[in-house]
Structure 1
Amino acid sequence: MKIITLGISYHKTPIEFREKVFFRKEALPLALTALKEAKEIKECVILSTCNRTEIYIVTDNLMGGKETLEKFISNYHQVKIEELKLYLWEKKDKEAMEHLIKVASGLDSMVLGEQQILGQVKEAYQIALENKTTAFIFNILFQKVLSIAKKIRTDTTIGEGAISISYAAVELAKRIFNDLNDKKVMIIGTGKMGELLIKHLVDNGIKQLLVVNRDLKKATELAEKFKGRAVSFDQLYKNIPLVDIVITSTNSPHYVIKMDHIKDILKRRKNKIIFLIDIGLPRNIEPEVNSLESLILYNLDDLKVVVEANKRARSKKVKAAEKIINQELPEIISWYRSLEFVPLIHEIKKKIEEICRRELLKIQTFLDEKSREKHIKSISNKILALPMSKIKEAISSGDGYVYLKTLKELFQIEEKVK
């Protein structure tokens, strides 16, 4: 069995393509089930966030599994496979497992050490588990990875002092306006990100705040918490001319702010600058609005400027985290390599036990069946003790595959054993 992950991420893939292959949370059960139906896919987990989409699979056919994944992503999201391959990267076995640890611990995040990603990896695994698209390998692997990621966060405190996407968005606003004290802000979206945005804005002097959501009750609850004003979604465009900064963080699959409406708004503002920050994925604001004068639009990719300085300042914690990975990864690799030998060893034991059984029947017919089986297992274990010990040592050192073919030939065990 092989572990493969195919994915795209903020490292090399622009937001314009990331949003095309984003899996919405509510779509994951059906997507996972559809992928698992392919004969090449034995287990699968889909991780999709604002900065990455990665699919992890277990397969017994390396090329077939990869091709199945590529076709699945292409067909599911209706993107040309040639375009997909421009951005898609592949990792397998050790590289895939090491990458998953780095992702879960926040080492591969745009915002180094971010708090959300560990929960997102755990949730991705949980959804796959609930929909029965994981089995023995991923059920153990993901538990091990989550445990290591928690250890990294605890031992290195890499999450402490880490900036967030919402913090970076507010920092961008400060770069445009310098002082936010007299600015009026509209937040569209009342999820966790929306609340974090408001907290950072208030901490930076914002006193005039409008909170917009399709659910007015949620908007009201959040607005009251920070002494702002709730606005119903149908009053969105009526209120945009009143503010200096608009930050969107909704899960909407469609644009919530469009070009045609913004043109009229700018006229009413008499070309006074308005700053829009879109941290939704898919994007919440039609990108073409950035061509308008008196308007500045930033999206998730523009936050890289802010977060790079934070990464450089936290390099010591990265080294400490990588040291833990280097200590823990060999144990996972050893476990993974042993998987192919477990059924083989089981088959060898069965053959030896059968030989013992036949021989004991010839000379010890006076033994009852229970005693006979006890003797069979005892003899078998003694015969296998030293060879199995040597095989396990070879597996741990990475040389186990030298013995694999020979053992199958010696004991005449068919290739179907996986």
Structure 2
Amino acid sequence: MIQYESISHHNTTLGEREDYFKKINKDDKGASVFLQTCNRIELYYGNGDIPEDVARHLFRVVCGLESAIVGERAVQGQVKEAYLTARKEQKLPAGMHKLFECALQIGKRVRTETQISHGAVSHSLATIEIIEQQNIDFRNAQITIIGVNKLTEDIIKFLKNKGAQHILLANRTLQKAADIAQQYDIKACSLCNKQEFLKFTDILICATSAPDVVVLKEEMPTDRDIVAFDLAFPRDIDPRIGQMSNVTLYNLHNVERKVQSNISVREDEVKKAEQLIEEEIDELQEIMERRKQHSKTVKVIARDSRLSQIQVEEIKKRFPEIQFETILCKSYGDTHKKISLLNGEAPDDIFTRELDDALLNGEADIAIHSAKDLPQQQPDGLEVIALYEATDKTDSLVSRDHTPLLSLPAGSTVGTSSPLRKAELQKLRPDLKIVGIRGCIEERVAQVRSGKIDSAIVATCALKRLGMEDEITEILPFETHPMQGRLAITARKGNDALKKMFAKDNIL
């Protein structure tokens, strides 16, 4: 049975959570998922059945219903990271996979179908939200921020994410402003120059700890429209500035009212979220029960390469309660290695044709593929019933003497079977000779080691699955295929029992 331990801001102090963190021994529980956020520490462990209360708790956590700020988004990423980390480090039982994959799906669903994460609930984000409502062009606006602290640094981050190009950070101590400005590639100046920089300001944001007003009415220009935010207490901006016809002034009270309004919207959405969670729990229990009752052997077909066989075992381990029979075959691409994959002559189904035929002929129930090998459209009568998250989406360079890409001599040969990799390589090193290579991963690496080619670009996840990480010279900064590193399961349409058995066994 899967169980969990949890301490959080609901039932402990910060000090108690710190003590628990020091004492916890994850190894005592066997295969487990360890979740840590700023407000909680949780450990999920065990195997077999998934009690409803365990699923309900994790689903509430991932949806932000147990967070200090209801509906906050960060926890979705934190749960996903905890699960992926555990999955890389150990062999998790099938029930644990199912529990966390359903949790991540309900997290996405709740944020899509409700307004639980609606609006800004921090002063920094609320400020950005108000600016957006003014229809101001972030890219061209001259933005001046006065004060150096966490609030203003957060605002700078959000402004940069919105595309702001002209940000000036002012402070009484110039060095403090300069240190932050260097991190975010913005300008810094001393507060002594405020009358000069205010002349060019479109958006003014003040948040200092000064005991007195920092910006006086007499210092504000009258010949340009300005949106001003006073986020300080006591106030930084002379209240009389709010009476100026060219200035729109928002104070701390206005911003807090925006935050409270958004929080109210979120709280109203809690019941909707809880209803969706209960639906997901029912569906999870139905899936787990169906798996228990399934007695028929599932015939799996896959290519006969070592990488493909490893991928098959990876999927089978997720379903220890199901009997599998594995059928291995060679695809059209495996037997026609002279066909280039770089010039468009290869058929769409070069690596799936024989597997598709086996499914359509009833020789196999499911086929397991590298998702990147799937054609853009499935053949009539077939469908994708599961698609898994990639463990690594990057490309790696394998080269003789482990020479990095930028250090390869001009004219060096680089092998690849991907038009996308070819295009990326030509952008970075147009002086290299690109050649098409075929064969399994081991054969491609062997071509490098034998001196037939100087280097090759291959998927990092393939090397990792094969235990060939030592062959990696470097991870490349390339755009990669959207399906790279992902595994897919295809099956005949109309087999609802089989489809439901694999339902939600993925992270789309």
Name the structure where helix makes up a greater proportion of residues: 1
Using structure 2 for the length normalisation, give the TM-score.
0.35
Using structure 1 for the length normalisation, give the TM-score.
0.42
